[in-house]
Chain A
Amino acid sequence: EADIYQTPRYLVIGTGKKITLECSQTMGHDKMYWYQQDPGMELHLIHYSYGVNSTEKGDLSSESTVSRIRTEHFPLTLESARPSHTSQYLCASSSASGANVLTFGAGSRLTVL
């Protein structure tokens, strides 16, 4: 079944640790996105990719980095986590044509102590 998977779903970690949030999709989508979601706030785009070896920063500045070495995989990394990074991170993908409907993963909720 075609889908988009995020791991971990929940992560509690201490300040200064390096973390990687994984995102994989099995739909063959070229475009992938990372959004950050805080309670009662809009989703903000922090990174996107239109294909392998293509990554761009989104509208919201983020200290995280991403890579796109394979079409299906779009991991997000924080080199040194801080409490201000506490948030929900949502990964999405879309095909290159038509209505550009985004398919979302279940999200990774990060808490930095």
Chain B
Amino acid sequence: GEDVEQSLFLSVREGDSSVINCTYTDSSSTYLYWYKQEPGAGLQLLTYIFSNMDMKQDQRLTVLLNKKDKHLSLRIADTQTGDSAIYFCAERKTGANNLFFGTGTRLTVIP
């Protein structure tokens, strides 16, 4: 496909793990990113992964990359109400310097 795809909504209970999924378009993409957007704010980089890695962990965040299926996921452990936001997946395609973003997944954490 032409677009970076994400499901639009995800709801989880506080304390559970959240998994946000993304499929991207270019199997040669060098970097893949996760950004977080809180209401009324710009996008904030959460983490990124280089394409030669399968996994990256940073505190409560775990990124998994499946290059064969062009699938990227973000797992948030022990999800808190402050994690409620829109999460954007983005790829840096081969030969491009800008990033291509998905529609974003709105995560709602239920207390």
Is B97 a contact partner of A90 (Cβ separation < 8 A)?
A: no
Instruction: Name the residue in B8, B45, B97, B102 with the highest tally of chain A Cβ atoms < 10 Å from its Cβ.
Output: B97
A104 within 8 A of B: yes
When distances are taken between beta carbons in the complex, the residues of chain A under 8 Å from B8 are: 40
Chain B residue, CB-CB nearest to A90 = B42
Query: How many residues on the B side are at the interface (Cβ–Cβ under 8 A)?
Result: 24
Query: How many residues on the A side are at the interface (Cβ–Cβ under 8 A)?
Result: 24
B99 within 8 A of A: yes
Is A43 a contact partner of B42 (Cβ separation < 8 A)?
A: no
Is B50 a contact partner of A40 (Cβ separation < 8 A)?
A: no
Chain B residue, CB-CB nearest to A35 = B101
When distances are taken between beta carbons in the complex, the residues of chain A under 8 Å from B33 are: 101
In the complex, how many angstroms separate the beta carbon of A76 from the nearest chain B beta carbon?
15
In the bound assembly, the distance between CA atoms of A76 and B50 in angstroms comes to 32
* Contact residues, A16-58 vs B (CB, 8 A): 31, 33, 35, 40-43, 45, 48, 50, 58
* Contact residues, A85-113 vs B (CB, 8 A): 90, 92, 94, 99-107
Is A102 a contact partner of B103 (Cβ separation < 8 A)?
A: no
* Contact residues, B91-106 vs A (CB, 8 A): 92, 97-104
Residues of B in contact with A (beta carbons under 8 Å apart) = 3-4, 8, 31, 33, 35, 40-45, 48, 50, 88, 92, 97-104
